[in-house]
Amino acid sequence: MNLRKLALGSVIFFLFVASKTITTVDFLNLPVTPFEYNVSLPNFYANNVANIDNSPANNPITNNGATLGRVLFYDKNLSINRTVSCASCHRQSEGFSDSRTLSIGFAGGTTDRQGMTVLNARYYQRSRFFWDERADTLEDQVLQPLQDTVEMGLTANQISERVAEQPYYNQLFINAFGNNAITNDRISKALAQFIRSIVSYQSKYDIGRAVVNNPNQAFSNFTNQENQGKQLFFTPIPQGGGGCAGCHGTEAFVSTRPENNGIDATSTTDLGVGGVSSPIRQNLVGTFKNSSIRNIELTAPYMHDGRFSTLEQVVEHYNSGIQAHPNLSGILKDANGNPVRLNFSTAQKNALVAFMKTLTDTSVATEVRWSNPFCQTNLSFTGTINSGGFQSSNSILVQATQIQNSSSVTLISSKAIILNPSFEAKAGSVFKAQIGTCQ
């Protein structure tokens, strides 16, 4: 996982006690008031996606529920050897996807497919998840990686046991669900809330779209090339476009159903949706769900097996490489039933790529509410003070439930949480600590 500098310069902790040994202190950096997790979409977007929202009535997003989900999503204790979290493969800086062709699990094994983005997972009306749609709901899906023998390696029972082991979850469950009962059902609900909160709506595309009546109009904030690419994206193939919006549609840029887009002539190793059930459903062999292509610039490599590393390669596939798979979508066939050849010029191909890059939303990749809340600091002595206590200048720290030999330590604030404290304290000295990095 990337070490990422967090701007916490103003956060200085004073621990009014002495210590013999200090190593690092891990802590959860959560705000006193939870972040807002129900994002306010612009009108054009909210109206357009209202009927493809898969949020179930019994699991609406709450700020405390999504906060719990955020901690679970980033918690490496949820893999059997405590090395991998959900975020190891769904990395914020990579559009909540994985830049590796195949993801790597807790024991070094590789996943069968490329890591999908979880961005805009909320907007898929069929409410099925994974490239082959084998999970029926997001609530079902989120428990599967935890139990996957390559990804995180827990048993169903170990999931709630691992969570219950960590002292910080007690309060987070009370906040989210009213009491501290830790169950797999609640874990799945909280994770699903957090994932549904991750929505992209602050791209260059959104700025342009907000001031026109429909996406086919030219956007005044776009270059000519971007407007040309937009037109190719939205125009159906028989009218000279690329037909892309036919399968990557709505303002969330999601598909409506699994499709075969002709990347192979036959399916041998990965049967996609058709291979999930027994017997095999021949008419769905080689079809795959595609997650949102918002932020596609950040989520390389592309396709279920990560075969393309650039958007140029993707466009060239649609331009000249579509193969006659038996289940190839009708949208990608010509009048004779053969794979279409778009025969775009270089300028048209470049325009299509330029348009896709207007969907990049760097706020998704950086916003703190979706970022790793686990932080580490190195404490260092700065002097001596006689009273015991632990103080934080903006009170993000505290409520230390695990301090060893803590008889002489008094906690002044009660807002945050110290993890794995590895120091021994006695009254009479002071610590001054500056927070350096979050993982």
Size of residue set near ligand HEC by CB under 6 A: 52
Binding test (CB under 6 A) with ligand HEC, winner from 15, 18, 28, 116: 116
Amino acid identity, position 305: D
Distance CA 363, CA 279 (A): 44
In angstroms, give the least distance from the CB of 303 to ligand HEC: 4
Told to check if 290 binds ligand HEC by CB under 6 A, we report yes
418 phi and psi, to 5 degrees? Answer: -100, 135
**CB 192, CB 88: distance < 8 Å:** no
In angstroms, give the least distance from the CB of 141 to ligand HEC: 5
Distance CA 69, CA 171 (A): 13
Place of tokens 């393309």: 308
Binding test (CB under 6 A) with ligand HEC, winner from 121, 190, 252, 438: 121
Strands 430-438 and 4-5: antiparallel
Nearer to ligand HEC (CB atom), residue 13 or residue 308: 308
Binding test (CB under 6 A) with ligand HEC, winner from 15, 17, 296, 418: 296
Distance CA 153, CA 427 (A): 43
Q: CA quadruple 54, 56, 59, 63: dihedral positive or negative?
A: positive
Binding test (CB under 6 A) with ligand HEC, winner from 29, 54, 64, 103: 103
Told to check if 297 binds ligand HEC by CB under 6 A, we report no
Told to check if 246 binds ligand HEC by CB under 6 A, we report yes
* Residues in region 131-160 near ligand HEC by CB under 6 A: 131-132, 141-142, 145-146, 151-152
In angstroms, give the least distance from the CB of 248 to ligand HEC: 5
Helix (H) or strand (E) holding 188: helix 184-197
**CB 409, CB 347: distance < 8 Å:** no
* Structure tokens that stand for 12 in this block: 């200085």
383 alpha carbon, distance to own chain's centre: 43
In angstroms, give the least distance from the CB of 80 to ligand HEC: 11
In angstroms, give the least distance from the CB of 57 to ligand HEC: 20
Q: Which stretch binds ligand HEC (CB under 6 A): 11-19, 238-246, 386-394, 419-427?
A: 238-246
Helix (H) or strand (E) holding 313: helix 311-316
Nearer to ligand HEC (CB atom), residue 92 or residue 141: 141
**CB 29, CB 438: distance < 8 Å:** yes
User: Footprint of ligand HEC on this chain (CB under 6 A)?
Assistant: 84, 86, 88-90, 103, 105, 111-113, 115-116, 118, 121, 129-132, 141-142, 145-146, 151-152, 191, 195, 242-244, 246-248, 259, 261, 263, 288-291, 293, 296, 299, 302-304, 314-315, 318, 329, 331-332, 352
